[in-house]
């Protein structure tokens, strides 16, 4: 895959993470907010994979 596709996937996962975090805050599930971090971590890994694939 190209670097652009990796970047788009990473951005999409980051947006999902933000929406999930806000949703969990609104519904008062503070103990489960760490679930919102998981897509963000995956987004970071995908972004790194895109940079390594370019080299």
Determine the 3-state secondary structure of 2 from DSSP: coil
- Say if residues 40 and 17 touch (Cβ distance below 8 Å): yes
How many residues are given for the chain? 55
> For residue 7, which phi and psi values (nearest 5 degrees)?
-65, -40
What's the confidence (pLDDT) of residue 30? Answer: 65
pLDDT at 48 over 80: yes
pTM listed for this prediction: 0.67
What's the confidence (pLDDT) of residue 20? Answer: 82
What's the confidence (pLDDT) of residue 55? Answer: 58
Q: Measured between alpha carbons, how far is 23 from 42 in angstroms, rounded to an integer? A: 19
pLDDT at 1 over 70: no
Q: Return the DSSP state at 39.
A: H
Determine the 3-state secondary structure of 5 from DSSP: helix
pLDDT digits (tens, 9 = 90+) for 17-36: 888 888 877 877 666 777 77
């Amino acid at each position: 895959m190209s670097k652009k596709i990796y970047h788009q996937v990473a951005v999409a996962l980051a947006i999902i993470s933000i929406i999930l975090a806000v949703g969990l805050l609104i519904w008062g599930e503070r103990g489960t907010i760490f679930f919102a971090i998981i897509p963000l971590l995956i987004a970071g890994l995908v972004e790194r994979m895109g940079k390594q694939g370019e080299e």
